[in-house]
Each structure stands twice: as structure tokens, then as C-alpha cells.
Amino acid sequence: MVTLEPASMADAIPAYRIIDDARNFQREQGFVQWTAEYPNLDTIRADVLAGRGYVLRADGLLAGYLCVDFGGEPTYGGIRGAWGTAEPYAVVHRMGLHRAFRGVGLADTALELTARLCLSRNVRSLRADTDPSNGRMQHILEKNGFVRRGVVLFQGGERLAYDKTLR
């Protein structure tokens, strides 16, 4: 059984290790979306303190980390393109999966559980962005019903912007 749970401060270091391993996995795939400076352990701790850090547990094991931000993303206001969904919305940032859980559909499960979390808060729009070279994440978003809407500037670089209407 896979669950999506608010991260605790005790989860911060193991979650950061997952993010750091995912950063290395990006490099193995031939691109750099996450730098050595971002996301860092302080980013994860800030997520936890703000209540936007979440962990995925598979049969009780820490299997992934993601940020689900219900406060919006200021840079999304400058989209080159147009959002297809209305506000309010939630944003998925910093999704990383433990190496042992890659390739088994956990990203799909994470997005489904995130959608349920949004709907439980009466939020019917979910947005995300990813690096143009991150074909893996683009594929995951698109196969889960997200639509590419344009380009946003995030962390000093262009990112492909996606959204999905939740039902």
C-alpha cells in the first residue's frame, strides 16, 4: 500500500537523500534540472515547516518526496502561454523517488494521491513545471492527464508548464 503523508522534520534528511539521488539520476540521464544549490536540505526543511513537504510510503518504507504547495507559485503569473485551469491551484515541485521504487509506477501513484489531496481541499487545479530536457517527467505528466500550457521562468531557467483539471 502506498500513502502520501505530510513530512515530519524526522523525514527531512532521508527525503533529502532521495532528492540528492534523484539529482544524480538526472545527470545520469544527461541533463541538469536540479543544481548542487537547489533543492538542498534547507529547501526540504522549509517545505516541512511550511506544511508543503510530503513523503510517499510504500508498505511503510520511505519511497519518495514531493512538495505540494497550495500557496501557488508567483512565477506562474508570467507564463508564456495560457493556463487551462482556474485558481485556486496546487503546485507539485521537487518530486523524487527512491531508486528502489523507480520504474514501478510510483510517480503515477504520487500524482493520483496528490490529486485526491487537492480534491479533499476543494482545489480542482494541479500545476507543475519541468526542464525542457527532462523527457521522463514530461512523459509522466502527460500520461497522467497534464497538458503542456507554455513556458515559465523558475529558478533562473525556462521550464515547461503543465496543468490538469481535477475531477
CA distances 126 to 19, 30, 35, 130, 142, Å, are: 21, 28, 25, 14, 13
Please report the pLDDT score of residue 52 as a whole number.
98
The residues, ordered by sequence, that sit 6+ positions from 87 with a Cβ below 8 Å of its Cβ are 72, 125
Please report the pLDDT score of residue 39 as a whole number.
96
Please report the pLDDT score of residue 143 as a whole number.
97
- Residue 96 in contact with residue 19, Cβ under 8 Å? yes
Q: Give 118: exposed, middle or buried? Use CB within 10 Å, 0-12, 13-18, 19+.
A: buried
Please report the pLDDT score of residue 145 as a whole number.
98
Per-block mean pLDDT, blocks of 10 residues, the chain (167 long): 98 98 92 90 98 97 97 95 95 96 94 98 97 95 98 90 97
- Residue 96 in contact with residue 44, Cβ under 8 Å? no
Helices of type H across the chain: 12-28, 41-50, 106-120, 135-143
Domains of the chain: 2-165 (3.40.630.30)
151 C-beta neighbours (distance < 10 Å), count = 16
Selection from 89, 88, 83 nearest residue 149 by Cα: 83
Q: H/E/C letters for each residue in 126-160?
A: EEEEECCCCHHHHHHHHHCCCEEEEEEEECCEEEE
Please report the pLDDT score of residue 156 as a whole number.
81
